[in-house]
Amino acid sequence: MQPYTNTTGIVLPLEKPNVDTDQIIPARFLKRVERSGFGEFLFYAWRYLPDGNLNPDFILNYPQYQHATILVVGPNFGSGSSREHAPWALLDYGFRTIIGTSFADIFRNNCYQNGMLPVILTADGRDILVNRAQTTVGYKITVDLNDQTVTDTEGFMETFEMDAFRRDCLLRGLDDISLTLQHENAIAAYEKKNMPQKLS
């Protein structure tokens, strides 16, 4: 996966609390075997009308947020089932950074495994970002993983805490498989040493 250092992007505020993974991507769209192609189904029940047309009243469809790459969410985002397709859909749509006050544990871990950064800010900090994104067209922030800061050009700055191991993995672009493959030579040597001897 691609290393994550910092990103600057337009903010889309989604204030709904307790958004679960079935709302992020409904179960009926989980039939694909690859990780791509899920973005078009993101927030499907809210994003589309019963006739299949885009719902103009859902924020993801507002013209000013069409190029948003940073999602600011309500509390307990990603609750419900453990489906990894939820971060796949968000990432495929274009969101690599999600900011909120709390995330469901499994969802947060799935984000890390897919190179996404879930940032936890204070409620006051999150509310400032939401307000500015709602009132300023094209409002952008910068999320810097090296410094663990969220900033904008209007003077906002807040630091965020993060597990050092997860931070290092994101900075280096390493998922669990990549971490294991760093020890490929040692694994091969162990397998060779412990391979059963052929009977003569």
pLDDT the model gives residue 2: 86
pLDDT the model gives residue 183: 44
Does a structural domain hold residue 1?
Answer: no
Taking each helix axis as running N to C, give the angle between helix 105-113 and helix 164-172, from 0 to 180 degrees, rounded to the nearest 10. Answer: 30
pLDDT the model gives residue 180: 53
**CATH code of the domain containing 27:** 3.20.19.10
Mapping DSSP to helix (H, G, I), strand (E, B) and coil, where does residue 199 land?
A: coil
E strand or H helix at 159: strand 157-159
Domain of residue 161, residue span? 6-193
Does a structural domain hold residue 138?
Answer: yes
pLDDT the model gives residue 154: 95
Q: What averages of pLDDT result for each successive group of 10 residues across the chain (200 residues)? A: 91 96 93 83 96 96 96 96 92 97 96 95 98 97 97 97 94 70 55 63
Does a structural domain hold residue 33?
Answer: yes
Does a structural domain hold residue 188?
Answer: yes
User: Cα separation of 116 and 98, whole Å?
Assistant: 8
Does a structural domain hold residue 70?
Answer: yes
Region for 100 from its dihedrals, namely left if φ exceeds 0, alpha if ψ lies in -120 to 50, beta otherwise:
beta
Name the pTM for this structure: 0.86
pLDDT the model gives residue 1: 82
Give the number of domains in the chain: 1
The angle subtended at Cα 172 by Cα 91 and Cα 150, nearest 5°, is 60
